[in-house]
Amino acid sequence: MKIVFTSDTHRGFSEKTYKIHQLFLQKMSEENADLYIIAGDLAVNRQKQFYSSLKDLRNFLGKNAKICIVRGNHDFQDATFNHHFGEWNIHQKSFKALLSRQNEWFEQFEIIHLQKNSIKIDDLLIVGFDGWYGFTKGETLSLYQELKEKGNKVFIPSDLDRLTPFMDGVKTYDWLKDTADSEFLRTLNEVKNFNNKEKTILVTHMPIYHTDDKYILHDGDITKFNKIAPYINTLIHGHSHLDLDFNKNDVRVITSGSDYDKPKYKVLNF
Ligand SMILES: [Fe+2]
Ligand SMILES: [Fe+2]
């Protein structure tokens, strides 16, 4: 079985991005893979970038291609930076609406969102979840936000400034973190039940292990990796933008190595 995967293509990064993606997707389609995996960060800061990326994936890879995806931190944003006021202007006011529009797009382009549906092809199980678990200290972030709301000048990781801040009264980043935690547990149960390490692939956007990589701003949670490692053969993740392929606790950890306008994919044969 031939798997092709990529991540961090970040549509909207520059004026050249769109053209680069056309060539990149054409090349990817020529691989004729049995499965295509996209490990998040398709967009930079707008939902229209996410939408057009999904549309192009389907158009270029063809109507019969199996495509699955997890979302990255950038895929939850819909905001542009206002240089005059020096702050982010958030376009999508309802985070819930943003999520439901994305679900419609997944259906429209028949793209499998791994957080909702894991897939089995032949005897292989592919599971995944989006993950926002990098912000491990939700309390600290709530404190930042409170201070900021009171008019204090505080540094908040920039991703948070670009998010629609509330969903039904719940702070969006708390929701993202809680969802990541519960989705992790669901995934852990699924791979435990499947119980075939050699035939299990996990896909996440952020790394689920601690790293000193300075490009990974959102530190992973080592406890998550250690809990799930006994049940998975391979972890495919994005976010880092570094080209990684190494062994950790008997798991092959691999990234595509895509970095903004330099998209790359890798081929895995199982
Ligand atoms: Fe990225
Ligand atoms: Fe990312």
* 44 Cα: distance to centroid of ligand 2 (angstroms): 9
* 120 Cα: distance to centroid of ligand 2 (angstroms): 26
Q: pLDDT digit string (tens) for 215-248?
A: 555 556 778 899 999 999 999 999 888 999 999 9
Query: Residue 205 above 60 pLDDT?
Result: yes
Least confident of 52-61, 96-105, 216-225: 216-225
Higher pLDDT, 173 or 182: 182
CATH number at residue 253: 3.60.21.10
Q: Which residue in the block uniquely carries the two structure tokens 């292990």?
A: 209
* 39 Cα: distance to centroid of ligand 2 (angstroms): 9
CA distance 128 to 125: 10
CA distance 263 to 146: 38
CA distance 223 to 246: 19
Q: What are phi and psi of 68, to 5 degrees?
A: -130, 155
The terminus-to-terminus CA distance of the chain in angstroms comes to 5
**Closest residue by Cα to residue 246 from 263, 238, 258, 234:** 234
* 8 Cα: distance to centroid of ligand 2 (angstroms): 7
Strand positions, DSSP E, 93-222: 112-113, 119-121, 124-129, 166-167, 170-171, 200-204
User: Do 75 and 209 touch, CB atoms closer than 8 A?
Assistant: no
Least confident of 79-83, 173-177, 250-254: 173-177
User: Do 226 and 249 touch, CB atoms closer than 8 A?
Assistant: yes
* 122 Cα: distance to centroid of ligand 1 (angstroms): 31
Determine the structural domain holding residue 31 and report its residue range: 2-269
* 68 Cα: distance to centroid of ligand 2 (angstroms): 17
Average pLDDT on 95-121 reads: 96
Residues with CB under 5 A from ligand 1 (ion): 8, 41
Task: Tokens for 254, please give them.
Answer: 């691999």
Average pLDDT on 116-143 reads: 77
Which helix (H) or strand (E) segment holds residue 253: the answer is strand 251-254
Q: How many residues does the chain have?
A: 270
Least confident of 33-42, 148-157, 254-263: 148-157
Q: Is 257 helix (H, G, I), strand (E, B) or coil?
A: coil
* 42 Cα: distance to centroid of ligand 2 (angstroms): 9
Number of domain units in the chain: 1
Task: Tokens for 141, please give them.
Answer: 């972030």
User: Which ligand ends up closest to the CA of 205?
Assistant: 2
